[in-house]
A and B are shown apart, each in its own frame.
Chain A
Amino acid sequence: MSYQVNEKGYYGDFGGAYIPEMLYPNVEELRKSYLEITNKPSFKEEFDQLLKDYVGRPSPLYFAKRLSEKHNTKVYLKREDLNHTGAHKVNNTIGQILVAKRLGKNRIIAETGAGQHGVATATVCALMGIQCVVYMGEIDIKRQAPNVARMKMLGAEVIPAKSGSKTLKDATNEAIRDWINNPVDTHYIIGSAIGPHPYPDMVTRFQSIISEEIKWQLKEKEGRENPDYVVACIGGGSNAAGTYYHFLDESEVGIIAVEAAGKGVHSGESAATSQLGNEGIIHGCKTLLMQTPDGQITEPYSISAGLDYPGVGPLHSHLYKSGRGEFYSVTDDDAMTAGLELSQLEGIIPAIESSHALAIFNDKKFKPEDIVVISLSGRGDKDLNTYIDYFKL
């Protein structure tokens, strides 16, 4: 079983490029050139240097002693929350802005839900002096005012997506429409491991720095490269893809994906795509997505804006269908409790997305000698208001 994308852009049954002909020249240009561009030594040098000096990598692999004692296993946290801009998203935006520069593009568009990817995109555009337009659902703009302000301060234009349900999927539609209308000068920086081929693979490769570092860091600390489990939350699935990447072919490493169950998988307010979805097409790829029997894409729900997406990336659909990945879903309540637990046991306030991964201990019992690496994909600053409201702090 291969977990790499094949030459047609598929992971098993999932992936491809289901795009209108209007986007074909752009996506084809990217497909033909992304590996050539990113494999060049000069690209790698610039990418690595920015990750080190600008993002602050490598991010620590931290042995969470008190959390480990509480759950009677060995827990390491991969601290993506310590990256510049506060989450893993910047790994990908640094990579893509360098690709865009080499393609001669002078305008960047992006979609954002909670605003983390929008901020990470606005950040790299400011760094490179490139025009930046971010599409964000009208409802999300109201919910995430601080991130909207950050993007504006960084010089980006934030355009409200007013179509459909006015959230992330609609912001993505609007970004795709912008790209259709601006096919020559514009590069679209997709924020997750979704979209038409080659996006899922390109984003996964940029995020794969996470598992690349875990390997050597764990070797230093434990004398072995492979943990027993890697755990990550999944919305579209970019931090998860990066966390799993170098372990996909290591069969002794268990791969655990945690989706957002919202108010309960079958409550009607959930984003647990692997449980509720079936095969279909969303935003240019064939993958698992939540939809009506008639094929209309439905609106997901999660307390975490970053997991509030009705699909998962095609790699993750393949991991689910092939059985390589174990999928769990965690409710709002369990995630919030896990976030509070980490804050008080380790002095780390996690993003609510990452809190979902931390809630894995409710569903899965690990052995005392197991080494469990959890991706702490982002920090909780952006979620403080949600935590305050929830816990009446």
Chain B
Amino acid sequence: MTENKTLMKNRINQKLAEEKKLLSIYFTAGYPSLQDTVKVIEDLENSGVDMIEIGLPFSDPLADGPTIQESSTIALKNGMTTKILFEQLKDIRQSVNIPLVIMGYFNPMMQYGVEAFCAKCQEIGIDGLIIPDLPVAEYNEHYRKTFEKYGLINVFLITPQTSDDRIRFIDNVSNGFIYMVSSASTTGAKNTFGNVQQEYFERIEKLQLKNPQIVGFGISNNETFTQATKTAKGAIIGSAFIKHLTLNGIDTINDFVKGIR
């Protein structure tokens, strides 16, 4: 997957090396309440989740559907900022061992300072970043060296519309996993996957990529998780988990996770 030894030791790559199918959960930091971030992370790990994506809220999340938009708006109203998130996470590695990824839009990272942001991530023990609006070309030209200097894996997305050539290109520049967007859509829960998704999953499987794939967007329950992980290494649940938090609060995270697999 990578020649870079620091990145080989990254918790994400260690987790990917395990035999099992991985369940990753996304949630918006500072949601439902500002101080819930750490408890949500700890409960997710205790419930058996393999990896967590911590959403850094943004005012204009254009790749996200209504559920994550709404949770971001509320998190910002709660007062969440990049600095506060880093402050909340400063001791997270004393209690949490699974890989932690920050998912957010590029503008707040730019304003914090990309290098300062990466340095802080390393200091806290963040393993990777997912930045939907930072294109591969910009990353390679301007930011790759900085990310790698701080031991961070940057995760790229592919979609059913991504050509085989481009998927190969993205596979070559990736050094962890590929985030496989399930359908042409913004984020949001679906109950089942149709033929189009199945064909897409099979097409990707046939490409025999170097990096394992984790499917995201539209995973909501045991059925979609099972379908997605038939060919992929794992799946990411976001909106369905946010909805669960909205309806049930933060005390029944274990019930949600147990319902998935």
Contacts and interface: CB of A to CB of B under 8 A. Distances in A.
Asked if A and B are interacting partners, one says yes
Interface of A: 16-22, 24-25, 163-164, 169-170, 173, 176-177, 180-184, 279-284, 291, 293-298
Contact of A183 (B108, B158, B161): B161
A177 B186 contact: yes
A241 B179 CA distance: 38
Nearest to A298: B59
B134 A294 contact: no
Contact of A295 (B111, B157, B163, B186): B111
B233 to A, nearest CB: 19
Interface in B57-87: 58-63, 65-66, 69-70, 73, 76, 81-83
Contact of B132 (A16, A20, A173, A291): A20
Interface string B105-148: 11111111000000000000000000011111010000000000
A279 B159 CA distance: 30
**B: interface residue count bin:** 35 or more
B34 to A, nearest CB: 14
Given A180-B185, A296-B59, 4 more contacts: A24-B161, A180-B186, A183-B184, A295-B112
Nearest to B163: A25
B166 interface: yes
Contact of B82 (A164, A169, A180, A294): A294
A22 B160 CA distance: 9
B162 interface: yes
A164 B60 contact: yes
Contacts of A18: 106, 133-135, 138
Interface string B160-177: 011100100000000000
Contacts of A280: 107, 110-111
B181 interface: yes
Contacts of A16: 135, 138
Contacts of A293: 111
A169 to B, nearest CB: 7
A21 B158 contact: yes
A161 to B, nearest CB: 11
A181 B76 CA distance: 26
Contacts of A294: 81-83, 108, 111-112
Nearest to B217: A22
Contacts of B241: none
B107 A291 contact: yes
A41 to B, nearest CB: 31
15 contacts: A18-B138, A19-B135, A20-B62, A20-B63, A21-B136, A21-B156, A24-B135, A164-B60, A173-B61, A177-B63, A182-B184, A184-B184, A279-B110, A294-B82, A295-B109
Given A17-B135, A177-B62, A25 B162 contact: yes
Given A164-B73, A181-B184, A21 B110 contact: no
A192 to B, nearest CB: 16
Contacts of B70: 163
Contact of A25 (B83, B108, B109, B161): B161
A291 to B, nearest CB: 7
A163 B135 contact: no
Nearest to B179: A21
Contacts of A173: 60-62
A175 to B, nearest CB: 9
A21 B59 contact: no
B161 A281 contact: no
B149 to A, nearest CB: 22
B60 A19 contact: no
A294 B117 CA distance: 12
A22 B66 CA distance: 17
A291 B111 contact: yes
A72 to B, nearest CB: 45
A33 B63 CA distance: 25
Contact of A281 (B81, B106, B159, B166): B106
A25 B65 CA distance: 20
B107 A21 contact: no
Closest 6 CB pairs of A and B: A295-B108, A295-B111, A21-B157, A296-B59, A20-B63, A20-B132
